[in-house]
């Protein structure tokens, strides 16, 4: 059993990573239904929250069916982050997560996200202050370091633990790498193997198959896996990993009809939550994976990703189901 604060999770839990414009309530609900043990919100700007920016406030929406759910925030100003904790607490999440890993320039340039990896003392003091400011478990998501020459993740993780961090998720790349090259899990294993560490250590980056998840568990000895891009448009991934752990065999793939039904539900939930404009627009990024591998699919995909009218998108789903419904794509990874 793995624990984040007082939250009890199964052995080697699978966590849905916080992803901007992806990890919203509709998608989190679908991932939860399909085996995710913990889900995290999109990352939320502390400055946006204290200014009451509509997009930031909307990201605070969480629902009982998602639990345990963590709200992830980012920022580099202590006062703003503490005020944000007070705002976030009103949404009653199970976890508050701090983003110390986002590599995007507009975040990093403000010293937030992975930008704080240039100032480890600030990273630690900010975490300590937030831990003291709430009774909720505070967790951290970060990267190995700013660049290859500044990887100090074993020391950093230990210091974060010592000021009260309840768990740490580590992406196996530096900020300099962005998302290029292969994730290196060895430094994450070094964090876990540090005899002083007693909080859960979760691995993130390149977990694209059930075999990769098993490797992270058995060869690297980590406490759990945080799944990101592999789940976009494919919420089945979590149950596929769990089935593989249990049986050593791959779970049967969903038919195209089942994929259409999931996409249909996803779009309707997004419209119900965001409205017809944003609901249609922000669900588009999932369609490539929902229908990955279908031959001669370009015409149908273009209808889905270019129409602003939900009815047209639903009609495109119907066409795909009628034409390919019984088809099973053998490999979706």
**Letter string b/e over residues 115-149, b meaning 16 or more CB atoms within 10 A of that residue's CB:** bbbeebeebbebbbbbbebeebbbbbbbbbbbeee
Q: What is the helix (H) or strand (E) element at residue 324, kind and residue range?
A: helix 310-324
d(C-alpha 213, C-alpha 220), whole Å: 10
Q: Please list the helix, strand and coil fractions of the chain in percent, rounded to the nearest 5, in that order.
A: 50, 15, 35
Residue 151 CB contacts under 8 Å (≥ 6 apart), including other chains: 144, 145, 174, 187
d(C-alpha 25, C-alpha 40), whole Å: 10
Determine whether 261 is exposed, middle or buried from the number of CB atoms within 10 Å of its CB (0-12, 13-18, 19+).
Answer: middle
Catalytically active residues, by annotation: 102
Q: What three-state secondary structure class fits 141?
A: strand
């Amino acid at each position: 059993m793995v624990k984040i604060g007082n939250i009890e999770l199964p052995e080697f839990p699978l966590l849905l990573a916080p992803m901007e414009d992806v990890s919203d309530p509709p998608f989190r609900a679908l991932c939860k239904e399909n085996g995710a043990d913990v889900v995290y919100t999109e990352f939320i700007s502390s400055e946006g929250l204290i200014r009451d920016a509509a997009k930031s406030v909307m990201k605070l929406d969480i629902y009982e069916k998602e639990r345990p759910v963590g709200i992830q925030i980012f920022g580099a100003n202590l006062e703003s982050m503490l005020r944000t904790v007070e705002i976030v607490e009103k949404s009653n999440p199970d976890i508050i997560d701090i983003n110390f890993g986002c590599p995007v320039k507009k975040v990093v340039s403000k010293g937030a996200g992975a930008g704080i990896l240039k100032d480890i003392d600030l990273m630690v003091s900010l975490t300590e202050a937030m831990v003291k400011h709430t009774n909720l478990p505070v967790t951290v998501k970060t990267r190995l370091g700013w660049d290859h020459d500044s990887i100090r993740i074993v020391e950093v993780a230990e210091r974060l633990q010592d000021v009260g961090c309840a768990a740490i998720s580590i992406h196996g790349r530096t900020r300099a790498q962005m998302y290029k090259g292969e994730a290196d899990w060895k430094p994450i294993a070094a964090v876990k193997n540090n005899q002083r560490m007693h909080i859960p250590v979760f691995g993130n980056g390149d977990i694209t198959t059930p075999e990769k998840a098993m490797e992270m568990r058995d060869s690297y000895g980590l406490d759990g896996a945080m799944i990101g891009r592999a789940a976009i448009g494919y919420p089945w991934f979590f149950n596929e990993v769990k089935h593989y752990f249990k049986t050593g065999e791959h779970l049967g793939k969903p038919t195209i009809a089942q994929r259409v039904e999931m996409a249909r539900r996803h779009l309707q939930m997004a419209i119900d939550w965001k409205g017809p404009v944003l609901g249609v627009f922000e669900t588009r990024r999932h369609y490539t994976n929902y229908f990955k591998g279908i031959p001669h699919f370009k015409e149908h995909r273009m209808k889905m990703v270019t129409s602003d009218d939900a009815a047209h998108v639903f009609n495109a789903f119907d066409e795909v189901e009628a034409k390919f419904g019984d088809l099973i794509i053998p490999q979706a990874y």
